Amino acid sequence: MRRKYRQILKKAVDVFQKTTNLEVEFQGYEYKDTDYPDAIMKITQNNVENYFDVEVKLILTKERIGLVAQQFVKFEEKGILVTRYVTPQNADLLKDMDIPFIDTAGNAYINCPPLYIFIKGNKLKEEPRTKLIQRAFRPAGLQVLFVLLCNPGIEKEPLREIARVADVALGTVNRVIKELEKMGYLIDMGRRGRRLVRKDNLLKRWITNYPEQLRPKQIKARFKAPKHDWWKDIDIQEFGALWGGETAAAILTKYLKPEVVTIYTLNPIGKLVLKNKLKRHPDGNVEILNIFWNFENDRINRDLVHPILIYADLMATGDNRNIEVAGKIYDTAIVKYIKED
């Protein structure tokens, strides 16, 4: 386990013991495989032992909660999240999703009858320093990563071609490629070209940073629709657009009723808005975003954005139902893009 992870785990456990007077033991793991927990923890109450597989997150955002939920499915024991700080809003979300957690401020949720704990609202004495975001996870870099993840093998192409497909400057691609090599995500194999590796981990980092860094910059506007299922009656390609988010997931899986309709396009939106009687509203249930890539996806349903983007949009909502559907999309439509050759 990395030093920072171990420090957060130890501090969170120390604070938890002082707050609850419960006995806690933990043992860190050294596994590099992401299917394994970071540690195993035992919490004892009245001689009753509760075992947990630990997932440590340095910083917790709403977007990361979905990834934690999916990680817990892979664990043998019940999972518990350990992190630096959980906001009151995220504490409520974790409780609603029945995800146990403890943090270094003394906040906690555990529901293992007869053991039940829910503490929220404790604040950190010192806020963590803002970490400098690497170029690869800034907006333009995320566009490059999206292209690399969605198009297996494209990393072997000339940088100019990658820049064209990602719709970014050539210099941006050059800097991102060098950064990926330093981080161990890209290997230069000489005459055989470059090879993208650790794709599953890279995808998780893209999913985490996309809603914070890139997505907000792509939003054109939000609208209210005259009726809930209006989107079922239109041909989205008539407007040079694609379905994303919950709408795309509903079409792809037949397993979701979208609360928010998400549309991606590069075209002017006047015709789409007028023909479908959409009314501009800051909190509307229709969102229209810019397309930020320049490639055609190999997909059966050509009305939809790439499955990786559908997955990212669902995970960003923090909604338990959307996260469940995102897991199905991951298993059926995304695994082939991140498997190692």
pLDDT, one tens digit per residue, over 258-267 is: 999 999 999 9
Residues 100 and 167 in one domain: no
Asked if 161 and 83 sit in the same domain, the reply is: no
Give CA–CA dist 31/55, Å, rounded.
12
Measure the CA–CA gap between 117 and 110, rounded to whole angstroms: 5
Encode pLDDT of 132-148 as tens digits. 678 889 999 999 999 99
pLDDT of 331: 93
Query: Looking at the structure, do residues 115 and 143 belong to the same domain, yes or no?
Result: no
In a domain, 53, yes or no: yes
Q: Do 140 and 96 have their domain in common?
A: no
Q: Residue 196 is part of a domain; what is its CATH number?
A: 1.10.10.10
Closest alpha carbon to 102 in 111, 114, 110: 110
In our burial notation (b when 16+ CB lie closer than 10 A, e otherwise), range 13-39 reads bebbeebbebebebebeeeeeeebbbb
Domain match, 177 and 69 both: no
Q: Is the model's pLDDT at 131 over the cut of 60?
A: no
In 3D space, the residue among 124, 88, 92, 90 whose CA is nearest the CA of residue 106 turns out to be 124
Structure tokens at 67: 């990834």
Task: Look at the chain and report how many structural domains it folds into.
Answer: 3
Tokens of 304: 């939809």
Strands 48-57 and 39-45: antiparallel
- Is residue 124 domain-resident? no
Q: Outline where the chain has alpha helix (H).
A: 3-20, 62-73, 88-96, 139-150, 159-166, 170-183, 199-209, 215-218, 245-253, 270-275, 307-317, 320-329, 335-338
| 127 located within any domain | no
Query: DSSP code of 290?
Result: E
Length of the chain in residues, anyone? Answer: 341
Q: Are residues 314 and 292 in the same domain?
A: yes
**8 vs 4: CA distance, rounded Å:** 6
The residues near 314 (Cβ < 8 Å, ≥ 6 apart) are 66, 245, 246, 249, 322, 323, 325, 326, 329
**Per-residue pLDDT at 83:** 96
Same domain, 193 and 299: no
Per-residue pLDDT, 314: 95
Which of 150, 174, 201 terminates a domain? The answer is 201
Q: Is residue 208 within 8 Å of residue 61, measured between CB atoms?
A: yes
Quickly count: other Cβ atoms within 10 Å of residue 255's Cβ. 12
Confidence band for 10, pLDDT divided at 50, 70 and 90: very high
Measured at the CA of 165, the angle between CA 187 and CA 234, to 5 degrees, comes to 130
- Model confidence pLDDT, tens digit, residues 162-196: 999 999 999 999 999 999 999 999 999 888 899 99
Return all residues near 118 (Cβ < 8 A) that are at least 6 apart: 91, 95, 108, 109, 111
The answer to whether residue 128 is domain-embedded is: no
Q: 319 falls in which pLDDT band (50, 70, 90)? A: confident
Any idea what the CATH number is for the domain that residue 50 is in? 3.40.1350
Contact 203, 172 (CB under 8 A): no
11 lies in the same domain as 78: yes
Asked whether residue 197 falls in the same domain as residue 294, the answer is no
Q: 102 lies in a domain?
A: yes
Question: Is there a domain that residue 126 lies in?
Answer: no
What pLDDT score was predicted for residue 300? 66
Q: What is the pLDDT of residue 117?
A: 96
How many Cα neighbours within 13 Å face the side chain of 237? Answer: 5
Position 30 confidence tier, pLDDT thresholds 50, 70, 90: low
**Tens of pLDDT along 270-302?**
999 999 999 999 899 999 999 999 998 666 678
3-state secondary structure of 176: helix
Residue 64 has pLDDT above 90, yes or no: no
Residue-level pLDDT at 126 = 64
User: Which residue, 151, 169, 201, sits at the end of a domain?
Assistant: 201
- Please tell me whether the peptide bond between 114 and the residue prior to it is cis, using omega within 30 degrees of 0: yes
Q: Which of 325, 223, 199 is nearest to 273 (CA)?
A: 223
Cα–Cα distance, 138 to 136 (Å, whole number) = 6
Choose the final residue of a domain: 201, 218, 234. Answer: 201
Same domain, 197 and 220: no
Asked if residue 321 belongs to a domain, the reply is yes
Residue 203 has pLDDT above 70, yes or no: yes
Residues 184 and 232 occupy one common structural domain: no
Instruction: Give the span between the Cα atoms of 243 and 253, in whole angstroms.
Output: 13
Sheet strands side by side (includes 115-119): 23-28, 39-45, 48-57, 78-83, 101-103, 108-112, 115-119
What is the model's pLDDT at position 132?
60
Q: Do residues 110 and 49 share a domain?
A: yes
What average pLDDT does the segment 74-94 reach? 93
Range of the domain at 153: 135-201
